[in-house]
Amino acid sequence: MNVLLVYAHPEPTSLNGSIRDFAVGRLRQAGHHVQVSDLYAMNWKACLDADDSAAPREPRFNATAASRHAYDHGLQRADIAAEQEKLRWADALILQFPLWWFSMPAIMKGWVDRVYAAGFAYDVGEHSDRHWGDRYGEGTMAGKRAMLIVTVGGWESHYGPRGVNGPIDDLLFPIQHGVLYYPGFDVLPPYVVYRTGRVDAARFADIRETLGRRLDTLATAAPIPFRPQNRGDYEVPALTLRPDIAPGAVGFAAHIDRGDGGQPACGTAEGGSTNSR
């Protein structure tokens, strides 16, 4: 497979740097082709603005219209076009980052904001009262796989079903469902390392073992069974779950098809199991 690893950490000799190096080595040993977008090393421009297009400036900058025009007419900044080309090349995308304030670092959010152009990652397909775009399971990335590698300073229990920070799978839902599944990726359960301040040689050996297994099954592991938007589960254009789909269930978990007949589950800590499970 062709694998694109998008990596956001300011320190090459960090735990994240070691994990990245291990992942790249493991994938290459298995015969995969790997490209790395090291956003800090690339001095990635984080902020979406009018400079992202070579088109003459409109009096009033509209992010979607400008993105669409630049994408359609080959007027995108070269850094954006290059990342899109890597995404087209890739069979699998890995986003690796430390969890900062319960989300990705700004530099990686800026990769999403800018690379995910209108016509490329959104605003794809028919948009009408009958069909609200090719998204959530369809779109440019359909058929490709994606996975998060996330490092977290706190303890696993802090991110458990009743942990104070909220369940990790719910915290990652805006990324896994909203950033990855939206343009069509099949999203594998995330690989999460907790308590990063206390990673000694024994724990790093465990990371190599468990992450190694995850990378070895990148092409075959079952993705999180998010519900495709256009399979019939949702009313259009309201885009709410049909009454007979997971009746009574609300929240993130309702958008995962557990094949359990749609019984509502209390709470939402079900966004895909992590790590070795």
**Which residues are registered as beta bridge partners of 150?**
97, 192
Per CB under 8 A, the list member of 25, 125, 161, 225 interacting with a second copy is 161
Question: Residue 171 or residue 218: which is nearer to a second copy going by CB?
Answer: 171
Q: Does 109 bind a second copy (CB under 8 A)?
A: yes
Three-class DSSP category at 260: coil
Q: Is 129 exposed, middle or buried (0-12, 13-18, 19+ CB in 10 A)?
A: exposed
Using rule CB under 8 A, residue 160 touches a second copy: yes
Q: Is 60 in the site for a second copy (CB under 8 A)?
A: yes
Please give the C-alpha separations between residue 101 and each of 65, 88, 112, 154, 227, in angstroms, as whole numbers.
Answer: 31, 30, 17, 11, 28
Q: Does 47 bind a second copy (CB under 8 A)?
A: yes
Residues in binding contact with a second copy, number by CB under 8 A? 74
Q: Is 179 in the site for a second copy (CB under 8 A)?
A: yes
Contact pattern from residue 190 through residue 229 relative to a second copy, giving x for each residue in contact according to CB under 8 A and a dash for the rest: ---------------------------------------x
Strand partners, 146: 93, 187
Out of 35, 157, 217, 273, the residue judged to bind a second copy by CB under 8 A: 157
Smallest CA-to-CA distance from 152 within 95, 194, 191 is with 194
The answer to whether 45 and 112 have CB atoms below 8 angstroms apart is: no
167 residue type, one letter? P
- Contact flag: residue 113 with a second copy (CB under 8 A): yes
Query: Shortest approach of a second copy to residue 37 CB, angstroms?
Result: 15
What is the contact mask toward a second copy in residues 230 to 269, using x (rule: CB under 8 A)? ----x--xxxxx------xxxxxxxx--------xxxxxx
* Residue placing its CB nearer to a second copy in the complex, 141 or 218: 141
CA-based Rg of the chain, rounded to a whole angstrom?
19
Which one, of 187, 204, 173, 207, lies nearest residue 276 by Cα?
Answer: 207
Residue 4 binds to a second copy (criterion: CB under 8 A): no
Q: Minimum Å distance from CB 71 to a second copy?
A: 16
Is residue 2 within the footprint of a second copy (CB under 8 A)? no
Q: Which of 270, 98, 245 is nearest to 173 (CA)?
A: 270
